[in-house]
Amino acid sequence: MQSGKIGVTTENIFPIIKKFLYSDHEIFLRELISNAIDATRKLKTVISAGDYKGELGDQTIRVSIDAKKKTITVSDRGIGMTAEEIKKYINQIAFSSAEDFLEKYKDQADGMIGHFGLGFYSSFMVSDKVEIISRSYRKGAKTVKWTCSGSPEYTLEEGERDDVGTDVIVYFDKDSKEFLEESRITELLKKYCKFLPVEIAFGKVKEWKDGKHVDTDKDNIINNTKPAWTRKPSELKDEDYTNFYHELYPVADDPLFNIHLNVDYPFNLTGILYFPRIKNNIEIQKNKIQLYCNQVFVTDSVEGIVPDFLTLLHGVLDSPDIPLNISRSFLQSDSNVKKISSHIMKKVADRLSEIFKKDRKEFEKKWDDIRLFIEYGMITEEKFYEKASKFALLKNTDGKYFTFEEYEKIIKENQTDKNKTVIYLYSTHKEEQFSFIEIARAKGYDVLLMEGQLDTHFINQLEQKFKDSRFVRVDSDVIDKLIQKEETTESKLTGEQKDHLTPVIKSQIHNSDKFMVIFESLKENDNPMIITQSEFMRRMKDMSALGGEMGFYRDIPDNYNLVVNANHPLIEKVVNEMEKKVGEKVEKIKEKMKPLEAGKERRRD
């Protein structure tokens, strides 16, 4: 039996590990299983290199709980360790065996998980004691047992194990009893190890017998060792992608389509991104992309690795080149992250463009489901806008779809005003604004349907991008004012008649302080009165409802314009009736006011 001190530079290393090394103590299980995966893969590598003549045997990694002893054991049949290797790789903290192994077998060892040499020590965050019982593949190697109670002191002695491999036994401390519950370990294995490349068994498959669940002889394998993203696209059918999506999100609707990523230069990146049926609430859809490192789950908060608008997608990304911190839990700022982010964005845009060109009718069917995602991307990412502007669609109130270029050609001649500005008319609610839409159609104009959650912001962006163009909601003014032409119509009412009619009209309006009466010289067959709302104020209020710097507009009361057609026969009739009933009284009042008006004029002179 040997004893000694672990090679650390300070006596306080274990308290630091216990409290600060990892953000979440539960990941100790992920780290131990990752080490077991590496050990298993290493054995396969040395066998393929001819350095081991023994049988590979059952490579299943086994996890077991002993409630009485308050332990969890992670057992593998991998490469194992000699006493000297334990001294080198366990006792010298941060001296990772993966680095040495990769150097020796760099042409054969793919997908090694461990790089930091600290993963094993995460077990001390939850334990009073940890044991390693290991037998190396090397000829004549003896089983060794390493024991440490969470201090720099350890013991190393001969142990008992018949086959090659390693058992790591964690004795939980009093604050970590939750990890003795079968349901808790099942939860962690499904979270972190669901797609690891070596089978992991936790207990036995249960079946219902005699009114209760009983264990069978079959191992309960908790992981899919060959998830779809690790396979070649040529091997997969549409149903395989859909099945994998439901493996990730069991209760979700079928996705619209997917992108299979497989990049090996200038960085390694694989994954499958799915376009879900996007709802109106963006926040509900975020954080659905799962990030993996060599099939080990890292996080589902990927804002640092993909542009913000891509967090609306679902799926998996896997890359050994994404720089993580020492606990493999947080992304670090790095030029690779920006490159990966840009590449993913390009792939998404290219895939959308491909679908649009290949089958436009199918793309149009999906448009209402994906427009929120695309508009969000175009608003927030200039490079995405440049690509998406070729396939983004505008939908009119007839349900027809147009690219930006197509729509401009359709409306340019008829909807250009006297200032050479192309006017894009739009509606936010087809039923509520029906009469305004019909008036525009009667003029031969087309009206877009812009009812999406982000359309207010999107319209602002399009106005900046489209040359000599302006968007106006179809009910923001009378149609002849929205698209002003050279011709004008004379008013049949005098200014005095308008002044006298204004209080008469306002007296018949509920909440009249919210309305401003405006007279316009329209055609006789146009409506006698129309209620409109200023495009500027309404748009500012819509934007404030979505938050941001425009928030102060939210508190401004709604105000409307009551536009009176000064040339409509009905209005002319009202004026005549008014003058019959009150004309004589008004004339008398005017006579009395003449001296006052004359006095005002003299004072002005």
- Domain 228-365 fold is Ribosomal Protein S5; domain 2 (3.30.230)
For residue 544, name the pLDDT band (cuts at 50, 70, 90). low
The mean-pLDDT minimum among 200-214, 224-238, 351-365, 555-569 falls in 555-569
CATH number at 2-207+216-221: 3.30.565.10
pLDDT digits (tens, 9 = 90+) for 147-195: 998 777 889 999 999 899 999 999 999 989 999 999 999 999 999 999 9
DSSP state string for 139-171: TTPPPEEEEE-SSSEEEEEE---SSSEEEEEEE
Q: Which two tokens stand for residue 259?
A: 């992108």
Every domain of the chain with CATH number 3.30.565.10 lies at: 2-207+216-221
Every domain of the chain with CATH number 3.30.230.80 lies at: 228-365
Every domain of the chain with CATH number 3.40.50.11260 lies at: 392-482
- What Å distances lie between residue 329 and 31, 119, 298, CA to CA? 11, 12, 6
Alpha-carbon distance of 487 to 577, in angstroms, equals 31
- The 10 Å CB-count burial string (b at 16+, else e) for 258-294 is bbbbebeeeeebbbbbbbbebeeebeebbebbbbbbb
- Which pLDDT value is given to residue 232? 92
pLDDT digits (tens, 9 = 90+) for 415-439: 999 999 999 999 999 999 999 999 9
| CB-based contact 549:591 (threshold 8 Å) | no
Residue type, 488: T
Alpha-carbon distance of 332 to 304, in angstroms, equals 8
CATH number at 392-482: 3.40.50.11260
Instruction: Give the number of C-alpha atoms closer than 13 A to the C-alpha of residue 574, restricted to the C-beta side.
Output: 19
pLDDT digits (tens, 9 = 90+) for 33-66: 999 999 999 999 888 888 888 888 899 999 999 9
| CB-based contact 170:123 (threshold 8 Å) | yes
